[in-house]
Amino acid sequence: MVTEPALTRSGNSLWQRVKSYRLERRRRREERRRRKGPVREWIELIVSIIIIVFFIRLTLVEAFRIPTGSMEDTMLIGDFLLVNKFVYGIRSPDWIGVPFTRIGFFVPFFRIPGVREPRSGDIVVFRYPLDPKLSYIKRCVAAEGQTVEIREKKLYVDGVLFPNPPGSKFTSEILYPRDYVERSIVPRNMVMRNRDNYGPVTVPPGCLFVMGDNRDNSADSRYWGFLSRNLVIGKALIIYFSWNSRKPLYRMNRKIRWERIGNLIR
């Protein structure tokens, strides 16, 4: 007769303590908020968002803008795209400086192994070999060990015709003959040395051979050499916005290329 009421009181006492603890914790949290004030709360929120965005930008995806026509018509001037940095391996920052300026310095970097290596056909974003502060975007046409040759504007990889991507184009009607030599073409020990007749050349270990889809108007591996794998940032993923700067402001509805937004990059 005495035990059951005692257990009930004990149970009620435990519940009351839990309830009191929750109320006290809520009271302390609200008190801390009042002490911080709305300004400090907003600052903490903004700092948290910046840290999260920086982490995502460092490890997963990063945004880039297309400034030139070297990849037309696959990508147009004014396309804004996201780059997958995870697929080839996360790369630590190699340059520290003031955002949106060229003020800074290079630091040693490391790379975490990725899902796979860049391969023929991928559109890659990389540090420009002649000026690593700049980011370039081109199509990888050959990886290490593969042989590249261009005959009368047709690209061959390992002796097999490399099909022109759907968005690629040739803007010049001039066809340079095989014996014509462009001094800016590298390397200099090839049989053919111009943009339309090139090679053959074998891609060395740890390097890629990249070209723009706008084949007659692209500064690529034909002109500055092989791309070191260490300079690759990631694989172009999707166009999230596109802005046509050539359209006048009064045609604002035409300045945004709505049909390109959300297009996967291939």
Residues that are catalytic: 70, 138
d(CA 266, CA 263) in angstroms, rounded, equals: 9
d(CA 219, CA 203) in angstroms, rounded, equals: 18
- Please say whether the beta carbons of 140 and 126 come within 8 A: no
d(CA 24, CA 30) in angstroms, rounded, equals: 10
- Please say whether the beta carbons of 221 and 126 come within 8 A: no
Instruction: Give the SS3 label for residue 220.
Output: coil
Q: What is the 8-class DSSP label of residue 171?
A: -
Instruction: Give the SS3 label for residue 30.
Output: helix
CA dihedral 208, 209, 213, 215 (to 10 degrees): 170
User: Cα angle at 134 between 230 and 171, to 5 degrees?
Assistant: 100
* Phi and psi, residue 141, nearest 5°: -105, -20
d(CA 200, CA 142) in angstroms, rounded, equals: 12
* Phi and psi, residue 221, nearest 5°: -60, -20
Token readout for 165 is 């991507």
